[in-house]
Each structure stands twice: as structure tokens, then as C-alpha cells.
Amino acid sequence: MDLLPTPSHSTAYAADETFTLAPGTTLEAGPGTEGTARWLRAAVGAATGLPLPSGDRSADGVVRLAVDETVPGGPEAYRITVDPASGVRITGAGPAGVFWGAQTFRQMLGPDAFRRAPLREQAWQVPSGHLSDAPRFGWRGFMLDVARHFMPKDGVLRYLDLMAAHKLNVLHLHLTDDQGWRLEIRRYPELTAKGAWRERTKVGLRESTLWDERPHGGYYTQDDIREIVAYAAERHITVVPEIDIPGHSQAAIAAYPDLGNSDVVDTAALPVLPSWGVNPNVLAPTDEVLRFYENVFTEVLDLFPGKFVHVGGDECPKEQWRESPTAQTRIKELDLEDEDELQSWIIRHFDRWLADRGRRLIGWDEILEGGLAPGAAVSSWRGFAGGIAAAQSGHDVVMCPESHVYLDWRQSDSPDEPVPIAHVRTLEDVYRFEPVPAELTGEEARRVIGTQANLWTEVLDSARVVDYMAFPRLAAFAEVAWSELPAPAERDWAGFEARMTTHYARLDALGVEYRRPQGPLPWQRRPGVVGRPKEGPPPIV
């Protein structure tokens, strides 16, 4: 059946006995499984042309969905039993488990079950037997940077479907950056009226001199976000919003110049940034700026019901604070050691502010510098060190080291790769990624609440290119996040590659423009787009 991610527990199937779905096969949805029943009718029903009417008995067999808390392995665990005569039973420890079981069931039906309409007459068969499965990690994340290049709402909904098909359950939306603000905030309309649009865009990185002279922009209205969050929730996916502070904030400063360090730069002259890189124009550490962002986060909390709110915290150069009389006065008033502590003070402020409202702060590992806010969780991106330090000091960690799971890094060293960013990270490299460092003790290792693959979009200007960079590596990542795999060196890479041949057929049926094993197809090459691979040996940590 080539299931992917591979089930964590037992599977036992009889090769020669199958249950065949037929037009009369009914769907019985127990309490708590109604959402999965809707999904099955919409997805599997559409692909197979089978209506799957409600009913608890049928001569054509029944697909039964049920929640049973005694299924071991946590709320996302599930079991599937297939009997040749009576049908299929998908039992989850909770509603999420039933949903992940339904995803597995679709894979059991074959790649054509991933189409949007039936391709041809065929028998929809699943092998009889028993399967029991549960995820390794509770946070199986994918970060999409919609700030550098905007992805319209329909594209995000499509990615939620692709995530669901891979049992990924956290969509981290990087909503704000120097190059664009993508979330409607009713109190501050200029954030999107001005901050969501840039005049032009650098094409490529570093020494590239190419520009796309077309304006670029877009943003999600609050209704768009409600739709995205509801669509995600129906798929048992949590959307984690990121509002990046105090660095990566030039789009906000372009909209509201008082947010910047106007005592050292003419912030009124700053545009939404058209180029890339770490940028010195950061937020001013004033009370007014804190109040502004409290108001922004108030609207964010209304829209995003999940526990975690990401406040960024990465790559905040301190030059302007060193020069700014306002920032220096603040440091003295607060009796702080230096500018790093000033950043910490801002992050701690929002940690308390979020905790007072029943939420938890998560930030990039720079939030460790100058002292980590109590209760804060860390996205460990600069390798594993930040995550290790955080876990050892009792903080929760999401492991997403750039060296392994930054999916904007190029997939081979062929000059045909669309844009040669950073180092080569192959499908096999991602498959051999181990999120829990060996140096953590058992107790510390439990602080690694999950793992995440991040896709930055400086050079990814369309959903097609996003597909190319995300897939197939996101499939390998999904297995790392879900399945109980052996140590990296012992992983069955050949077996994974063999399963991928079936999975490529699923991705084809889903319309994903993934990178083929032999490299980019002619229309996936992007000649003339310049970037420079990083020099030196790849930093495998």
C-alpha cells in the first residue's frame, strides 16, 4: 500500500483478501466524527464517484467512523480494520485520530483516490487486515512565508489539504516582514493599505542585479483568516500566526513611521522593502510601540484560537538602538545591561501579555539572547544549539534547523535548479533528519514538542515554485514528524524511495508540481534568476 508516513505501530494485511467499496457502501459517522465524514464524502467521494450515503448497514458494506478513547497512543492515534464482508472501521482515540485514519484509508484506496473526479471505471478496493498508528510528535509543522511573496487564500487552503494528506497538523503563517504585511488589522488600516504593497522586487539573492518592476502585494482580510482557520480546524490543523517583532518590521514602519527609530533615521522615507536580507530598520522600544502591537495582537487573538502565538524575534540588528537616544534612555530606565536585554524586555513583555490572555508565546531562537521569557517556547532554526539550550532550561522546543529543514534550500547542485539558494539539501537529507538531539536526556527530550519544515519565499514568486521547493521533501519531513523511525544512519532510505514511487502518483493526482527525482522539468527551470550558493562545507550539525 506504500503508506506515507509509514504507520508507527502494527500493520497486518492479507494480500489476497479485499473489501470493495460500491455505490451502496454506506458511511456511519459516530459522535465526534462528523467532520471526517464530511471530508470523506468531499474528497474520497469526489475521487471515486461513490456517494457514501449515511447508514449503519448495507449489503455493500459500511465504512464506520468512531471515537474510542481506549485506543492507545494519544488523541491522534487511530486503528483501521478492514473486513472483506462487512467493510471498514476507522476508530480514533479522538476526532483527530479518526481524521488521520481517514487519510490513511484514502492512501489504501490507491493514487486515483486523490483525484478531484473519477478518471475511469475501477474497483475501489482495500486489503483486509488491521493497522494501528499514532504520531511521534504532537507538533508536525509547516511554515509558509506569505510575507515575501503573498499566497492568495485559495493557495493556502490548498496547502492545508496537502498538509492533511501528509498528517501535518500545524500551519505556521509568517504574516509580516520587511517586504510586506499580510493581515488586515482593523484598528490600523495603513498596515495593509500601504504595508501590503511594494513597488518592485529583487529577483534572486545576493549579487543579483535583476528586478521585477511590477508592484507586488496582497493581504488576508479578517474574513479570509476566519475561513483559513475554520478550514484548517476541520482538518485538525492549528494555524499559528507570526507577527515578527522587533526586527523584520519595515513594512509596518513604512505604514506607520513612528514605529521605527525616527530619532536616528528618517523613517517616513522608508518604503516597504523591495530587496532581501537582514535589515537594520527595526521597531523603536517605546511604550507607544508596545501599545500599538498590543492592539495588533488583540485582533490576532480574536482571529486565531490556537494556544501559541509566534512573535518572531529573529535577526534584529541592534545598530539603531545603539545610536538612538530614546533606546539608550530606555535601557538606563530599565536598568538593562545592553541592547540584547532590550530585545528580551520586549519579548518578555509580550510573553506576559499573552500569558495573561491564556496563550503562549513562541519565537525564533534569538529570543534566548538576553534571557528567555518564562513559559516561552522556541523555534530552533539556527541549528540545534538553541533548541538544546532551551530544552535543558525547561522550555518547549520546535526543532526546525535551517541545516536540515529549510525547504527553500536547493535540492541538488545541478545548474538547472531554479534558484541556487544556500546548500544542497536532498530528499534523502530530509529523510535522515532527526529532530531530537542525542545529547538531551529523556526528560529534556520530552521538551521537543515537535518539528517543523520552513519555506521562505524570497525567490518563490508563485504557488508553482512553492510546490517545487516543498515537494517531495515535505513528504519525507512528514514521515520524520509522524513515524517512529530508527536513527538517521539506519533509516530505510531505499524502502522510502520505493514508497515514493506510489506517492509521486498521489502528488500527480493532487496536481502538485513537485521536483522529479531526475531534476526539474523544462518549465521548472528558471534561467537567469541569480543567486549564489553559500561557500564552504555544508553546516550539517
Residue 111 CB, shortest distance to ligand ACM, in Å, is: 34
Strands 11-21, 124-133: pairing kind: antiparallel
Query: Residue 112 or residue 315: which is nearer to ligand ACM going by CB?
Result: 315
Q: Give the residue, chosen from 293, 381, 431, 482, that forms a contact with ligand ACM under the rule CB under 6 A.
A: 381
* Residues in contact with 251: Cβ distance below 8 Å, sequence separation at least 6, in sequence order: 147, 176, 177, 178, 179, 180, 181, 191, 195, 196, 198, 272, 273
| Total chain residues near ligand ACM (CB under 6 A) | 4
Query: Residue 75 or residue 383: which is nearer to ligand ACM going by CB?
Result: 383
CB closest to ligand ACM, residue no: 314
Residue 139 CB, shortest distance to ligand ACM, in Å, is: 16
Residue 32 CB, shortest distance to ligand ACM, in Å, is: 37
Residue 407 CB, shortest distance to ligand ACM, in Å, is: 12
Query: Residue 47 or residue 368: which is nearer to ligand ACM going by CB?
Result: 368
Q: Which of residues 286-325 bind ligand ACM (CB under 6 A)?
A: 314-315
Encode burial over 443-457: b for 16+ CB neighbours within 10 A, e otherwise.
ebeebbbbbbbbbbb
Residue 365 CB, shortest distance to ligand ACM, in Å, is: 8
Residue 335 is placed in which grid cell? 536598568
Residue 254 CB, shortest distance to ligand ACM, in Å, is: 20
Cite the active site residues: 177, 248, 315
Query: Residue 267 or residue 403: which is nearer to ligand ACM going by CB?
Result: 403
Query: Residue 172 or residue 491: which is nearer to ligand ACM going by CB?
Result: 172
Neighbours of 514 (CB within 10 A): 22
**What are the strands, taking DSSP E only, across 283-325?**
308-312
Query: Residue 381 or residue 477: which is nearer to ligand ACM going by CB?
Result: 381
How remote is the C-alpha of 358 from its chain's centroid?
A: 23
**How buried is 103 (Cβ within 10 angstroms: 0-12 exposed, 13-18 middle, 19+ buried)?**
buried
Q: Which of residues 429-448 bind ligand ACM (CB under 6 A)?
A: none
Which residue in the block uniquely carries the three cell numbers 499573552?
354
Angle at 460 between CA 454 and CA 463, to 5 degrees: 90
Cβ–Cβ under 8 Å, residues 483 and 6: yes
Query: Residue 234 or residue 315: which is nearer to ligand ACM going by CB?
Result: 315
Neighbours of 490 (CB within 10 A): 9
Residue 37 CB, shortest distance to ligand ACM, in Å, is: 39
What does R_g of the chain's alpha carbons equal in angstroms? Answer: 24
Looking at residue 243, its amino acid is: I
**What are the strands, taking DSSP E only, across 393-470?**
397-399, 448-455
Per-residue mark of binding to ligand ACM, 320-359 (x: CB under 6 A): ----------------------------------------
Query: Residue 224 or residue 244: which is nearer to ligand ACM going by CB?
Result: 244
Looking at residue 487, its amino acid is: A
Residue 309 CB, shortest distance to ligand ACM, in Å, is: 16
* Residues in contact with 158: Cβ distance below 8 Å, sequence separation at least 6, in sequence order: 463
Which residue in the block uniquely carries the three cell numbers 523555534?
379
Which residue in the block uniquely carries the three cell numbers 531530537?
436
**How buried is 195 (Cβ within 10 angstroms: 0-12 exposed, 13-18 middle, 19+ buried)?**
buried
Does 482 interact with ligand ACM (rule: CB under 6 A)? Answer: no
Q: What Cα–Cα distance (Å) separates residue 244 from each residue in 173, 224, 239?
A: 11, 20, 16
Residue 60 is placed in which grid cell? 455493500
Residue 130 is placed in which grid cell? 488491521
What's the rounded Cα separation, in Å, for the pair 424 and 444? Answer: 31
Cβ–Cβ under 8 Å, residues 243 and 308: no
Cβ–Cβ under 8 Å, residues 401 and 382: yes
Does 364 interact with ligand ACM (rule: CB under 6 A)? Answer: yes
Residue 222 CB, shortest distance to ligand ACM, in Å, is: 26
Strands 78-83, 87-92: pairing kind: antiparallel
Could you tell me the maximum CA-CA distance found in the chain, to the nearest angstrom? Answer: 80
Query: Residue 247 or residue 520: which is nearer to ligand ACM going by CB?
Result: 247
What is the contact surface with ligand ACM in residues (CB under 6 A)? Answer: 314-315, 364, 381
